[in-house]
Amino acid sequence: MKKINNKFLKIVPIIILLLSIISPIVASYNGPESNSELIINVKTIDEETLELDIYFPEFQYDYKIIEDNKYTTITLLDEGYSQNDGQANLPVLRRIIEIPYNSEPEIYITNIIWESISLSDLNLPSTIFPTQTSILKIPGALEQAEFIINITFWKGN
C-alpha cells in the first residue's frame, strides 16, 4: 500500500472549506439527475491532488407575507442560512473541518456550472426574506419581536 503524502492530507480540508465558503454563490446545478441531497464526489488524481464534483440539491422557493409585504424564501434541505440580520436570508453550506498545523494548501477551481433563474420567472416577490434576530423560546416572544430589514443593504444591487 502506498503511503499518503502529508501534503495531500493538508490539501483535503482546505478544499472542503473553500467549497463550503463559495456554496452561497453557486446556484442549483444537479448533475446528471435531480437529487434531494448534497452529493460530493471525491477522486484522487495523485498523492497531492484531489478532484471534487459537487452536486447541489434543488433549492425550494416559496414566499411569506410580513406586515403586508411579500418576501421570497429560499431553502436548501438540511442546510443553514446566512447570519446577517436584515440582509437576504440565503442558504449556506457549512462544514466543520480540521486544517493541519503548518499546512500550505493550494486550491484551484477549474470549473463551475450554474443555472440562473429569475424570481419573477417563478412568480415570486423580488425581495428575499431578510434574516431575523434569534428569538427566545418563551411564550409571547415571537409576537413581540421586531421585524428587521437593513435598508442600506437592500438599496445596493
The structural domains of the chain, with segments of one domain joined by +, span 6-155
Model pLDDT, residue 53: 79
Averaged pLDDT of the chain: 75
pLDDT of residue 63: 94
Q: 16 falls in which pLDDT band (50, 70, 90)?
A: low
Question: What is the separation of C-alpha 157 from the centre of its chain, rounded to a whole number of angstroms?
Answer: 19
* More confident site: 156 or 68: 68
Please compute the mean of the pLDDT values over residues 42-70 and round it to a whole number: 83
What is the pTM for the complete model shown? Answer: 0.62
Highest mean pLDDT among 1-15, 45-59, 62-76, 77-91: 62-76
